[in-house]
Amino acid sequence: MSREGPRSALPTIPCRKLADLRYLSRGASGTVSSARHADWRVQVAVKQLHIHSPLRDRPCIQSLVS
């Protein structure tokens, strides 16, 4: 695994595009939340993986963990 983190075919959605972020559940590999995408106007699932990453320090991610 590179220092940049895992690669994925799924899109990365910037935090500023997520509204109504709500915690759903936490499991062994991550935390799952729901949100409304500001541009697409649809409900999306947001999964934060439990890996060491500088992304964990972003304010929108911190609000999910606390």
Structural domain includes residue 9: no
- Find the mean pLDDT for residues 36-62: 79
Structural domain includes residue 56: yes
- Full-model pTM: 0.58
Q: Percent of the chain beyond pLDDT 70?
A: 65
Domain span holding position 55: 15-65
In total, how many domains does the chain have? 1
Question: What pLDDT does residue 50 have?
Answer: 80
| Those residues with Cβ within 8 angstroms of residue 54's Cβ, 6 or more apart along the chain or in another chain | none
Structural domain includes residue 3: no
Helix (H) or strand (E) holding 5: none
